[in-house]
Amino acid sequence: MRAEYVWVEVYKAALVETDEGKLPNRIQAAKVAVDNRLYELHMDHGGTPEERQALSDALAGLMLLRRELERRSSEEYPSEGYGQP
């Protein structure tokens, strides 16, 4: 898989973000970048099997990261529900 794909850099930025205040935006940006690349691949039937697998893995990772962030937020603000203060 080529590292110069935009989605890879945006995804990595979400993975290494330590500021939980910035993390939701990083996750959303990465999801948009992955979705855009999947759309491109769908339109021209390009890409490699390795990239397609990496995109699938990235989506799964982003979902896990989002769930973990929501879990942490709900633990921090249990009476508010869904982690909203």
Q: For residues 54 and 31, what is the distance between their CA atoms, to the nearest angstrom? A: 13
Sign of the CA dihedral 56, 38, 68, 10? positive
> pTM for this one?
0.78
**56 within 8 A of 7, measured Cβ to Cβ:** no
The secondary structure of residue 50, as a DSSP letter, is H
What's the pLDDT tens digit per position in 29-68?
999 999 999 999 988 878 889 999 999 999 999 999 999 9
Average pLDDT score over residue span 15-42? 95
| Percentage of the chain modeled with pLDDT above 90 | 67
Per-residue confidence at 2, pLDDT binned at 50, 70, 90? Answer: low
